[in-house]
A and B are shown apart, each in its own frame.
Chain A
Amino acid sequence: METDKTEIAFTTAGLTKVYGEGSATVHALRGVDLQIPQGELVVLLGASGSGKSTLLNILGGLDQPSSGQVSFFEQNLSRMDDADLTLYRRDHIGFVFQFYNLMPSLTARENVELVTEIAENPLSPEEALALVGLSERMDHFPAQLSGGEQQRVAIARAVAKQPRVLFCDEPTGALDSTSGRQVMEVLQQVNRELATTVVIITHAATIAGMADRVIHFADGQIRKIDLNDQKTLAQNLVW
């Protein structure tokens, strides 16, 4: 687990994000300086509205910062245009969202194929779904799956292309504790077995127990970073 910590995946400097104009201006990020080493499981904690999703979207190449620098290894994300960002996402990044965001008209397997189709060196959809324990339900449509199962399909879809980084925005936000724990187990497993950097947004502080690094976020800024030597297994998390 204590892999080569000298390799830094993400570096940000003075990152800000401003939404809207005039009286409606919102400063979602107010200068974020951060380093995320490759291979860690990072948890981003903070109140709703503190800017977590905004940061994650920028790191994931879904959005551009208003100012400041952000880089992924030696690639400078803040200088990339839309086409480069698309390639960046396609090659390196997996996403898991709070509301699963599966295509309702595709089966579990087909939802995963959506990603393996365009990936360089993907797992097979079957492998990916086996990884999240859904081998039995591959041909079900999203409407036929529980929330936890849908989220596991979403994780399978995200890891299938073997991304270097997996971003999860409140992956358990819509789940009960049992399903939530299962999802966390899967994420931990991905981090360990595939050596994927995993960044999880949550406001459930207990989840922090399984992280290498916990970033406390408030008001668009980092308040505190805790490093965790005694990581809990996800299955032992108290919800």
Chain B
Amino acid sequence: MRMLTGLSPLDRKLLRDLWRMKGQALAIALVIALGVLMLVMMNGLVRSLEDTRTAYYERHRLAQVFAPLQRAPQSLLARVAVLEGVTAVAGRVTGSALINIHGQPLPLSAQAVSLPDRGEARLNDIYLTSGRRPDPSHEDEIILLQDFAKAHGLKSGDPLSATMHGARRTFRIVGLAQAPEFLYSAAPGEFVPDDARFAVIWMSQSALAAVYDMNGAFNQLLLGTSADSSLPAILDRVDTLLEPYGGLGAYGLADHVSNRFIEEEISGLRVSSRTVPPVFLAVAAFLLNIVISRMIQSEREQIGLLKAFGYRDIEITLHYLKFILVIAVGGALIGCLLGVISGRSLAQVYQSYYKFPFLLFQVDPMTFLIGVLVSILAAAAGGMVVLQSVFRLTPAVAMQPPAPADYSRSAALASFLKRFLDQPGRMVARRLLRQPGRAAGGVIGIAAGMSLAVAMLNVMSAFDRTLELSFSLIDRSDLSVSFVEPLSDKVLYELQSIDGVIEVEPVRTVAVLFSNGQHSYRGAITGLPPAVRLNRALDVRQQTIPMRAEGVVLGAALADILQVKPGDMLSLDVREGRQPQLQVPVTGVADTLIGSPAYMALDSLNRVLREPNRVSGAYLRIDSAKQDTIYRQIKALPAIAGVSLKQEAREAFQTLIDTSAGAVRYLMAAIAGVITFGIVYNSARIAFAERARDLASLRVIGFTRGETAFVLLAELGIITLLALPLGGLFGYFLVFAISEGFSTDLYRVSAVFVPQSYGIAALAVIIAALLSGWLVKRDIDRIDLVSALKVRE
């Protein structure tokens, strides 16, 4: 208290009032803090991921244009280099491989990539994490993708057996590396990354060229472009140039699989960073508004007194503004701090997940500023509205204790109330009826908190449901195989004839560039046989997506990108085989759960490609007792590019949604819970503060503690119960907004109605209410009757 000398008496009042209400002030500050935390954390993550990605790409000179082709002589590179807008050129050899690891029943897919014989790669260089680059004079030296090596306990010096170009070879690992072009790496035919099941092998150009008969030639062209160049123009020229060499279509970085995946994740995060924190902040602001306005309402006598002394409105306003600012700014600063702390730790999760060699968590200073400003504005707005109404009163009126509320309005109800309620019950009912606005504020506040919880829980369940549907309803196979190139469907009989294989279902996926005027998308068409059983095309309502004899059915997200609707024609640039250009009608658009699929009937697909009876993979259902022999026989089949077990794919997907953007949802759900509690607790506290005198009077005239507490807590109870259905309703709408933010190109979190999330959220609110009620009840029991009546507060 000594420290307080030197402050004006009003400032001392401020500090003492703050201290007296420290519990409540802290609860409010925390709610604000959590809103700001979300803002800071999410914006920081998005920015950090973007910056890190950009820096990583630049540091290792990731190409701007990728052009796969059959085979072209090195001499062609000089002709590419002079194209307008091209700043760097590299030609390299790539090929697919299978890795045989002892103890693994199935071969693992890998991609082999060449590195220049000497020095660093001009484009798409690697980040060597250990060991050294291969020596071109030792053809068996390789560098292995670090995360694959880690997953299998491999290290520099170990041998590695792999099948390349049909022949089995043994290599020696001399180094481990990461690369910006393999931030995301999934096996062929799969879209979920899995460290253990996809590898990248880097070899010196001459060694790899020898393996794939590519001496003096390359089969992938990489280009660096200047910032002001036109990408479509460059792609066009490159395609023309590569035409005689079996060019498979050049594409920009935006269409590169790994980059697209990262971009999707970041933009998903970006969308949720724009939708979720504002919702949290809005709820926090609303709560703050209610609390502050009621707090000031209860100070009206003191305000009247200050006015009677001759204090000006502006001076009084400043006094309360300071009070609000301390709480709001305090809360916002705590939020900034917590946001940075949680952002940092999440950044670590992201870094290891995305295989960034570094990830600096950085927050745009603007974000801090926005967080603090929003908190201040919300708090100040709440205070101003009430101060205005208090100022409108003459000081004489303001200073009178608010005239006993006029309960005559509820007179009509009196006889009704009398019949059914005892005295305390009637007091509760009358108070609620007398001040419906105040009760409504409480109801809406709690409902808003609950809606956050509902929405977050719902989104969490929606993730799980997506997973469940994808891997039990949509895909009912046990494993799938993909071939290095489309095969005759006779291979199906071969698979069927393996002992223990119960069912075989063909599939044909074809890489295409979809385009409709300006809009285009690099993806694939999935050809499905009639009456699919194992890998089904289902929409969000779990209905089979009907397939016509002609035409393509698109997932809604893809139809959106391409701006097409059923009946429109779509052009397809096929990116394999003869690379025909096709026009097909869109026969349907379906709301799908995963990916941006495009389906065609298998026959129809083969017909338009003029390649009858071809399949690119198959889904199998097998007898698990015989899986070992089945695996062995599949392994022995030629032309297998990859085998994937559904169980493993499912686990990988679970990891994907748990550790990437989905990880944030757990934090959000926890925060929603805390905010809900904060709101309920604050409502109880304010109700208590407003009525402490009345309650003391009740005790004085002989009400028991229980009866006294009832008068207050029954009110809280009724408000809570009224808030439950409303919170459910708010939540229902919030789910749409938020799940949209969580959806990405790869998976959609559909705004499904998950009844449990409503139940759990309601339960959380009820528990919060009980706990708050109990905390307040302790204070009611402790009311000091004498002082409560002596001092007029």
Contacts and interface: CB of A to CB of B under 8 A. Distances in A.
Interface in A26-65: 53, 57, 60, 62-64
A114 B308 CA distance: 12
B787 A99 contact: no
Nearest to A102: B791
Contact of B309 (A53, A110, A118): A118
B310 A103 contact: no
B616 to A, nearest CB: 79
A142 interface: yes
B792 to A, nearest CB: 5
Given A86-B312, A97-B399, A101-B301, A110 B9 contact: yes
Contact of A62 (B9, B16, B301, B394): B394
**B312, B396, B399: most-surrounded residue (chain A CB, <10 A):** B396
A63 B397 CA distance: 8
Interface of B is mostly: helix
A105 B20 contact: yes
Contacts of A91: 310
Nearest to A97: B399
Interface string A85-124: 0111111010101011101111000110111011000000
B310 A104 contact: no
B395 interface: yes
B302 A86 contact: no
Given A64-B394, A86-B307, A106 B16 contact: yes
**B13, B309, B791: most-surrounded residue (chain A CB, <10 A):** B309
A238 interface: no
Contacts of A86: 307, 310-313
A93 B308 CA distance: 9
A218 B315 CA distance: 39
A63 B394 contact: yes
A143 interface: yes
B396 A89 contact: no
Contacts of A95: 308-309
A143 B309 CA distance: 21
B791 A114 contact: no
B309 A114 contact: yes
Given A114-B309, A115-B309, A106 B9 contact: yes
B394 A118 contact: no
Given A90-B310, A99-B792, A143-B791, A106 B12 contact: yes
B305 A143 contact: no
B84 interface: no
Interface string B1-31: 0000000111011001100100000000000
B58 interface: no
A51 B199 CA distance: 94
A105 B309 contact: no
B733 to A, nearest CB: 43
B790 interface: yes
A64 B396 CA distance: 10
A118 B310 contact: yes
A101 B395 contact: no
B434 to A, nearest CB: 17
Nearest to B397: A63
A83 interface: yes
B9 A111 contact: yes
A62 B312 contact: no
Interface string A153-187: 00000000000000000000000000000000000
A53 B308 CA distance: 14
B494 interface: no
B394 A90 contact: no
Nearest to B784: A143
B560 interface: no
B13 A89 contact: no
B236 interface: no
B793 interface: yes
A24 B305 CA distance: 27
B399 A101 contact: yes
A113 B5 CA distance: 12
A33 B9 CA distance: 40
Contacts of A89: 307-310
Interface of B: 8-10, 12-13, 16-17, 20, 301-302, 305-313, 315, 394-397, 399, 787, 790-793
In order of increasing CB-CB distance, the 9 nearest A-B pairs are A90-B310, A105-B16, A62-B396, A89-B310, A57-B396, A113-B9, A63-B396, A114-B9, A110-B9
Interface of A: 53, 57, 60, 62-64, 82-83, 86-91, 93, 95, 97, 99-101, 103-106, 110-111, 113-115, 117-118, 142-143, 147
